[in-house]
Structure 1
Amino acid sequence: MRARLFALALFFVQADVFAETSQERVHQMSHQVMPFEMAKTVHVFRMTESGGIQRVLAREPGEADQITLIRQHLKHEAERFSHGDYSDPATLHGAGMPGLAELQANPAAVKVSYSELPEGAQLSFETDDLRLLTAIHRWFGAQLSEHGADARAE
């Protein structure tokens, strides 16, 4: 009996040691999807009446290498998203991420545009389809939640 209790206690201690939050998992896996360092950047999400704006900014304005990597990545993602390829967010957040299936299924109904900012870059998502507008907002909300301290809403 004592051995069983010890084994059970050891199981729970080990499970607690290896447990991680979704924010920790996203932060640790980010290098598989994004070339820049999460700790040196911040993701900013703003939901709009027609979609939303996602900015990725260097935390320090003088981080030229991070700014270059942010711009390269978001430019590439804009092209992929325009064709319904959301494989990078699916890799990082999971294929069941809220809003993702709807965005993948109807890329022609969402205009994705890229623009540079002094401290990084941004993607704008626009649609007149209420279902896709909701999908964009749900997708942004999931990213805000899972990026934790590496993200903020505007």
Structure 2
Amino acid sequence: MPFSLKATTHYFTRTKDGGVQRVIVKDASDAQQIALVREHLRAIQQQFRNGDFSGPTHIHGQAMPGLAELKAAKPGQIEIEYKDVHAGAELIYRSADKMLVNALHEWFDAQLSDHGPNAKAGHEHHHNARDMTMQ
């Protein structure tokens, strides 16, 4: 990751059709870290849209739960939306395919474990508030 893991908190929120991955910089005045987070999540969005899941493989390993199913998805089976939020950014993953939704949930759980104290499980009702989203 191009930003400091210790300077951020990663939130992984499961939703009925996928999930939300939000990365927030702990010091909201740290413009450099915020820019790096946003750049990284935009790059992830583009890579995943192109079927390139090498980023998580390099960080979390080949056997990361859910990753094989995500790699096997056909173009368009997973919608990935990027948003700037206060002091960070988020990716919203959606799929109509239940197998892929389950794979996203497994992948989120693995990231929660791998990122340790710098990651937290989110709650769907918090995400829906949208009060932190910058348009």
Superposed, 1:4-153 pairs within 5 Å as: 34-106=1-73, 107-153=75-121
Deviation at 1:118, TM superposition (A): 1.5
Q: Which runs of 5+ in 2 are unaligned?
A: 123-135
Give CA-to-partner distance per residue, 1:19-41, whole Å, 9 cap, x none. Answer: xxxxxxxxxxxxxxx11001101
Deviations 1:91-125 (A, max 9, x none): 11101100001111114200011110111000010
What TM-score do the two structures reach when normalised by structure 1?
0.77
Structure 1: give runs of 5+ residues left out of the alignment: 1-33
Q: Which is further off, 106-115 or 71-80? A: 106-115
Could you list the per-position Cα deviations for residues 14-65 of structure 1 after superposition, in whole angstroms to 9, with x for gaps in the alignment?
A: xxxxxxxxxxxxxxxxxxxx11001101111000001000001101111111
For 1:108, the aligned partner's letter is: G
Aligned length: 121
Separation in structure 2 between the aligned mates of residue 135 and residue 53 of structure 1, nearest angstrom: 14
Runs (4 or more) in structure 1 with deviation over 3 Å come to none
Distance 1:113 1:102 in 2: 19
Structure 1 or 2: more helix by fraction: 1
| Cα-Cα RMSD | 0.7
Correspondence for 2:130: none
- Measure, in 2, the Cα distance between the counterparts of 1:96 and 1:62: 37
Counterparts of 2:112 and 2:82, CA distance in 1: 20
TM-score, normalised via structure 2 length: 0.87
Identity %: 44
- Mapped partners of 1:134, 1:39: distance in 2: 28
